[in-house]
Amino acid sequence: MSQWLIAGLLFTPLAWAALSLLLGFRQGRWLSWLGMAIQMAVSLALWFAVMEGGGFYYALGGWNAPLGIALRVDGLAVTFVLLTAAVGTACGLHAGVYLDADKPWQRYFWPLFWFLWAGLNGVWLGADLFNLYVSLELISLSAVGLVALGGEAAALRAALRYLFAALLGSLAYLLGVALFYGRFGTLSLAVIDQLLVGGEPALIVALLLMLAGLALKTALFPLHAWLPPAHGIARSPVSALLSGLVIKASFYIAARLWMELGDRLGSPWLAQGMGVLGAAAVIWGSWLAFCQPHLKQVVAYSSVAQIGYLFLLFPLTFAVAEPVSLLAQQGITLQVISHALAKAAMFLAAGNLILSVRSNRVKALAGVSHFLPFSLFSFGLAGVSLMGLPPTGGFAAKWLLLQASLASGQWWWVVVLLLGGVLAAAYVFRIYRASFLEVSNSDDFYHPPQSLEAIPMILALLALGLGLVAEPVLSVLALPFEVVAAEAVHP
Amino acid sequence: MGFVVALAAAVLGAAGAAAPSELSDQLQASLARSGVEHPVTAVLLNFRSYDTLLEIGVLVIAGMAGISLASTNALEDPALRSADSLLYALQRWFVPVMLLLAAYLLWAGADRPGGAFQAGAVLAATGVLMRLGGLPMAFIRPGILLRLGLVLGFAVFLLVAVAGALNGEAFLAYPVTIAGGLILIIEIGLTFSIGMILLALFVAAPVTDEHEPEEGGGL
Amino acid sequence: MSLNLLYALAGVALCGIGLAGFLLLNHLLRRLLAFNLLGSGVFLVLVGLAQHGDGPDPVPQALVLTGIVVAIAATALAIVLIRRYFHLTGRTSLDTGNNAGDGGGES
Amino acid sequence: MSGWLDGLLVVSLLVTAVAVLLSRDLFRAVVMFMAFGLLMALAWVRLQAQDIALAEVAIGAGLTGVLLLDAVSHFRRARPQHRSRGTE
């Protein structure tokens, strides 16, 4: 059964990419709705299958790990596959209505969208270092294409910046892969994990290269300069995809590398250093988000800040007791999920607001609270999750990270967690204050369709509800991990 | 530069400690079941075919970007239309030779160096030559046919991949008996599409200065 | 020093040259050239380092073939974007200071 | 083996690479890049990687070079026009 599901999961996005290239935007929309329904169903079924049967390796082409490419289907991977299905479907539905179907270039939206989805699934399931590289490139190029779609100068500028950063990051990663292959003669992460004994300098350099490249692609401070223009200029559904999912892909690889190899190749300096950069991202990104004059730039800089929390994974899992490390991993996983849902909701809601007031400026929002209370409410609800107030997913994530920090004696991260929440509150309330300003007789608002308003609301509610179901979600995450760890790598 | 020194040290370190892997033994052992004799082709199109599938996806994205941002009129660049007689004579000889070369490379891939990528590149080069010689290339217009050409190889590959899964085996698994034939079919499709994509990128890329392109104005 | 290792070290040097060019040059096409040099360096390291033992190792060769195709796809995409950008703005580099272009949003 | 030949090849590879980046003229830089691609192909032959050598000649040096040359000539043709416009 799982075999069929995996085949469906890999086949659908690629096939839909090819098919939708042959159609126009409107026909592609119908086709894509069908595809999203299939992907959603397959992802859900796979999630339940892994929940019951545990994780497994899937040998593509029937060739096992070192010779062929094996996919690692475990609890974490299928959870992210499901997350991608949820956020991808929401953004796809929103885009179908939001994007101007009459523009001739929009026909390329769907193929790029589906290629992006295929790449994301490839990353979540990837267990082969080089295949991860190809998946990353698939993601980067389709994401750049999506940003550039429409071809106005500012978008091209942002897309080029993004492209160059992404390419440099990929090559740094590939250089690390080359060193690993030179040393071990294999590309399978599981086999490398088995063969690796101690911290050889060559391999430490390799890991550093890979982490640096992936950090650049994830836009970790101070390598974040490419992100705000790209995420700010793209159409809102694209921004939601980029902020919600795309930057998580490179972080996911970095985290997987760290969890598998970090105990032997890492060092306290590296772990603390990554944490410090993450902390700086939280503070600096939040501050810049507060200062931005444009609505989508606020949301984009907020992404820079929220990414920062993810990098606390490095110090909180290095040389700490097993339960503490597990706590931190769970916290980071929750943070990834809740940020993906909340940030997608925020960008989609921001898109609605911009559509309504016909301007990207925060000041132009004055009075919009009367006209789009629903979208504004979604925006705020997502904001609550970013702030980390109970009962949201953001709160549950921070609570776990807080515990992990205290249990490992690294109290300084607690300061970052709390300060980040306060700063997030500041930039979200700034938008709110601007929206509730009363202006005389400005009823020149466009009212977007109901469906556009409903989608961010659903995502924001999911982010909110995540806090309530955090326990079951995390138990599913932890359980299959054991199964996979116990299963030997096949020869 | 510290970067180079560290990297050189890492390379030397990794080379010094390199452990003989079982991978090459496995490869030799499985080669007979891959359907081709040339190990590089076997790795590309059988053992690690998922890489190749995604890589063609990347190429399709680039081709798409090329035709989406180009303006249609640039294809009718009159400057390139005026056929140079020498070039014309040259291409009358060159085009068939290069087509033959592409076919040879494609066929050679099964047991010696060569294969879809090289053949596709030669195909594209032929197209570039034809364009420089001023031959009409209506088929490269950004219409449905061009898009069909772009995805054809990818689609063929994907269909073969899913056929394996429908057969009850893994995604991308080929039955041993017909693996060679399937790989050849994939390679033919890929050669055609790779040539088409690379050519589209060359031919469709120009944006002339004379007119405002119809795409990406206001917004 | 073996033949393969020599080329691997040449790859390292190329990586350094490419990286320096990538970071220091402003012209978009020159940056693209530097990216391609950097890529070639990485490929040389990948093949040169892997071919210890007896005979050539086909796996890294296949990886590099894939890598070359990905690199030309990226290069082609970049060229399309650069030409279009040049067409619209007349600029061949990205650093133009903080002009208003950064914030301009939708519709 | 003729070790000095390999040494020469490596040195010329590096020199060409530097020349690509340092050429003041963009057109020259691209031509140097194509030469670099051909040298790379030789290096691949020396590494017993004929497949890559073929691909490098066809794709690396050939097509990338043609694409870049095309772009450079486009820039050249358009430059004067944009300069006058660029004063705004």
Selecting from D51, D66, D78 the residue whose C-beta is nearest the C-beta of B113 gives D51
> D65 CA to chain C: closest CA distance, Å?
10
On average, the pLDDT of chain B sits at 77
- B175 to A98, A238, B180: CA distances (angstroms): 45, 40, 9
Q: Is residue A419 part of a domain?
A: yes
For residue C99, name the pLDDT band (cuts at 50, 70, 90). very low
- Determine the residue among C40, C42, C79 to mutate to test chain D binding: the one whose Cβ has the most chain D Cβ atoms within 10 Å: C40
Arithmetic mean of pLDDT, A159-186:
94
Using CB atoms, pick whichever of C50, C74, C88 lies closest to residue A141: C74
DSSP state of A73: E
Residue B171's domain comprises 36-204
Give B88-141 pLDDT, tens digit per residue: 677 777 788 888 888 888 888 777 777 888 888 888 888 877 776 666 666 666
Least confident of A216-225, B45-54, D63-72: D63-72
As a whole number of Å, the end-to-end CA separation of chain B is 46
Task: Name which of A206, A216, A330 is nearest A264 in CA terms.
Answer: A206
Candidate from A18, A142, A206 with C-beta closest to B10: A206
What pLDDT digit, counting tens, does each position of A369-384 carry? 777 888 899 999 999 9
When scoring B22, B50, B69 by the number of chain C Cβ atoms within 10 A, the one with the most, hence best to mutate, is B69
Q: Give contacts of C86 with chain D, Cβ < 8 Å.
A: 74-75, 78, 82
Tokens of A226: 């490419």
pLDDT category at A255 given cuts 50, 70, 90 is very high
A449 upstream amide cis, omega within 30 of 0 = no
Cross-chain residue pair C36–D60, CB shorter than 8 Å: yes
pLDDT at B59 (0 to 100): 93
DSSP for A266-327?
A: --HHHHHHHHHHHHHHHHHHHHHHHH-SBHHHHHHHHHHHHHHHHTTHHHHHTT--HHHHHH
C92 touches chain A (CB under 8 A): no
* Contact: C69, B55; criterion CB under 8 Å: yes
B173 at the D interface (CB within 8 A)? Answer: no
* pLDDT at residue B216 greater than cutoff 60: no
pLDDT at D83: 42
Query: Is D85 part of the contact surface with chain B (CB cutoff 8 Å)?
Result: no
Q: pLDDT per residue over A72-115, tens digit each? A: 998 889 999 999 999 999 999 999 999 888 887 888 899 999 99
Q: Which residues of C touch B7 (CB under 8 A)?
A: 12, 15-16
Which tokens hold the place of A10? 């890999």
Question: Residue B12 domain-assigned?
Answer: no
- Positive or negative: CA dihedral C57, C60, C65, C68: negative
Say how many domains are in chain B: 1
Nearest residue to B118 via CA among C68, D63, D36, D59: D59
Domain presence at residue B31: no
**Containing structural domain, residue D7:** 3-85
Instruction: Return mean pLDDT, chain A.
Output: 89
- C-chain residues near D59 (CB < 8 A): 68-69, 72
Binary contact (D55, C65; C-beta < 8 A): yes
Beta-carbon contacts of A161 under 8 Å, excluding residues fewer than 6 positions away, are A225, A226, A229, A230, C94
Q: Tokens standing for A81? A: 């596959």
Give the model's confidence band at B75: pLDDT under 50 very low, under 70 low, under 90 confident, else very high. very low
Domain count, chain D: 1
Q: What percent of chain A has pLDDT over 70?
A: 96
Of B30, B46, B68, the CB nearest to A105: B68
**Neighbours, chain C (3 or more CB pairs < 8 A):** A, B, D
Which contiguous run of DSSP H or E holds residue A59? strand A56-59
Short-list B129, B119, B123, B109, CA closest to B41:
B109
**pTM, whole model, 2 decimals?**
0.92
Residue A61 lies in a domain: no
Which residue among C49, C74, C104 sits closest to A167, beta carbon to beta carbon? C74
ipTM of the complex as predicted? 0.91
pLDDT in tens, A330-360: 999 999 999 999 999 999 999 999 888 888 8
Largest CA distance in chain A: 74
Instruction: Answer yes or no: is A116 within a domain.
Output: no
Give A421→chain B minimum CA distance, Å: 36
| CATH class of the structural domain C3-93 | mainly alpha
Q: pLDDT band for C24, please (50, 70, 90 cuts).
A: very high
What residues of chain B lie within 8 A of the CB of A14, using their CB? 53, 57, 154, 158
Structure tokens at A102: 């009459």
- Where exactly are the structural domains of chain C? 3-93
B11 touches chain C (CB under 8 A): yes
Yes or no: say if D36 and D13 are a contact pair by the CB < 8 Å rule: yes
pLDDT above 60: residue B81:
no
Question: Which residue of chain C is at minimal alpha-carbon distance from D28?
Answer: C30
Contact A301, A292 (CB under 8 A): yes
- Does B18 sit within 8 Å of C58, measured CB to CB? no
CA distance B202 to chain C (A): 9
Among the partner residues C52, C70, C78, nearest to A163 by beta-carbon distance: C78
Separation CA A423–CA A308 (nearest Å):
13
Do the chains contact at A233 and C104, CB–CB below 8 Å?
yes
Q: Is D18 within 8 Å of D32 (Cβ atoms)?
A: no
Cβ within 8 Å, pair B162-A205: no
**B205 part of contact set with chain D, CB < 8 Å:** yes
User: Which of C59, C68, C81, C85 is the best substitution to test chain B (most B C-beta atoms within 10 A)?
Assistant: C59
State whether residue C87 sits within 8 Å of chain D by CB. yes
Number of domains in chain A: 1
Q: Is D10 on the interface with B (CB under 8 A)?
A: no
Average pLDDT score over residue span A202-222 = 94
Domain of D70, CATH number, reads 1.20.120.1200
Q: Which residues of C touch A119 (CB under 8 A)?
A: none
Backbone angles phi, psi at C52, to 5 degrees: -85, -170
Residue at C34: amino acid letter: A
Question: Which of A174, D47, A182 lies closest to C49 in space, CA to CA?
Answer: A182
- Provide the b/e sequence for B140-159 (b: ≥16 CB within 10 Å): bbbeeebbebbbbbbbbbbb
Pairing of strands A56-59, A70-73: antiparallel
